[in-house]
């Protein structure tokens, strides 16, 4: 068995262990975030039937996935990184899920392009729970109005919320805060948890885990 398949199996076993221990009624999807990794590292996972992959940059995603996705119709590609409105058209062409919806300007652009392409993207609103200046995201007190704008005025398919807890923080506190806000809005999906904190994310009800190094190993820095 390929080493990355072994790591994925270990991660899935850990997920199932946490769910069973806490008697959770969730079945989280593992998004393998493959930024900086070449296709030869990812192909064994695709060949083994893994469907959900994520990228952080538009150009890298286009270079890596355009042909592969055409040849694997069931693959689901997730935009997990910050997205500028001038890249919205390309994002709609490439991705099935966008986890970083964080402004009205971006929402309007994405809505325009998905209508033009007759495509229906699944969106997560990125929430800046700690209101960190260096991070994108909608603040907690603006979420309800932004959600209403996206769903009522634009009819975007908002399926859930996403967050990135502050570095060196108690991530579980932020995950639970996001879960409460999603419950308040009636949203069932939560994109939270990366390689270093996915166990806490599962315990807090995450339904989409964004994992990279836990499965693919250390990244090649660019």
Residue 168 pLDDT? 84
Please state, in angstroms and rounded to a whole number, the distance separating the CA atoms of residues 138 and 168: 21
% of the chain with per-residue pLDDT over 70: 98
Q: What is the mean pLDDT of residues 22-42?
A: 94
User: What's the mean pLDDT in 69-84?
Assistant: 94
Position 8 in a domain: yes
Q: Work out how many domains the chain is built from and give that number.
A: 1
Q: What average pLDDT does range 44-67 have in this prediction?
A: 95
pLDDT for position 167? 87
Q: What is the CATH number of the domain that holds 164?
A: 3.20.20.10
Residue 222 lies in a domain: no
State the pLDDT at residue 221: 62
For residue 43, pLDDT over 90 is answered with: yes
Give the length of the chain.
222
Distance CA 124, CA 36 (A): 23
User: What is the overall mean pLDDT for the chain?
Assistant: 94
Q: Using pLDDT thresholds of 50, 70 and 90, give the confidence band for residue 7.
A: very high
Q: Is the pLDDT of residue 222 over 60?
A: no
Where does the pLDDT of residue 133 fall: very low under 50, low under 70, confident under 90, or very high at 90 and above? confident
74 is a domain residue: yes
User: Nearest-5° angle of CA 45, CA 71, CA 112?
Assistant: 105
| Residue 23: Cβ within 10 Å count | 6
Predicted local distance difference test score (pLDDT) of residue 33: 96
pLDDT in tens, 104-132: 999 999 999 999 999 999 999 999 988 88
Query: What is the arithmetic mean of pLDDT over 31-56?
Result: 94
What confidence tens digit (pLDDT) does each residue in 148-195 have?
Answer: 999 999 999 999 999 999 888 899 999 999 999 999 999 999 999 999
What is the pLDDT at residue 131?
83
The answer as to whether 211 is a domain residue is yes
Residue 96 belongs to some domain of the structure: yes
Note the pLDDT of residue 19. Answer: 96
In a domain, 160, yes or no: yes
Is 221 within the bounds of a domain? no
Residue 121 lies in a domain: yes
Give the range of the structural domain holding residue 52, as residue numbers without chain letter: 3-216
Residues 6+ apart with CB under 8 A from 99: 54, 78, 79, 80, 124, 126, 162, 191, 208, 210
Q: Write out the H or E segment, with its range, that includes residue 99.
A: strand 97-101
């Amino acid at each position: 068995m390929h080493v990355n398949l072994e790591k994925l199996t270990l991660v899935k076993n850990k997920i199932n262990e946490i769910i069973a221990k806490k008697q959770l009624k969730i079945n989280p999807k593992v998004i393998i975030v493959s930024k900086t990794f070449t296709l030869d590292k990812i192909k064994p996972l695709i060949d083994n039937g893994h469907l959900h992959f994520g990228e952080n940059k538009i150009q890298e995603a286009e270079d890596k996935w355009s042909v592969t996705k055409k040849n694997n119709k069931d693959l689901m590609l997730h935009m997990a990184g910050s997205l500028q409105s001038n890249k919205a058209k390309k994002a709609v062409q490439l991705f099935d899920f966008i986890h970083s919806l964080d402004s009205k300007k971006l929402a309007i652009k994405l809505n325009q392009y998905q209508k033009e392409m007759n495509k229906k993207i699944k969106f997560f609103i990125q929430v800046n729970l700690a209101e960190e200046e260096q991070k994108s995201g909608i603040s907690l007190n603006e979420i309800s109005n932004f959600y209403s704008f996206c769903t009522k005025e634009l009819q975007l398919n908002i399926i859930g919320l996403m967050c990135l807890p502050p570095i060196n923080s108690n991530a579980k506190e932020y995950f639970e805060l996001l879960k409460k806000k999603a419950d308040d809005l009636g949203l069932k999906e939560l994109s939270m948890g990366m390689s270093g904190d996915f166990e806490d994310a599962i315990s807090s009800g995450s339904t989409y885990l964004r994992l990279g190094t836990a499965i693919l190993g250390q990244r090649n820095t660019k």
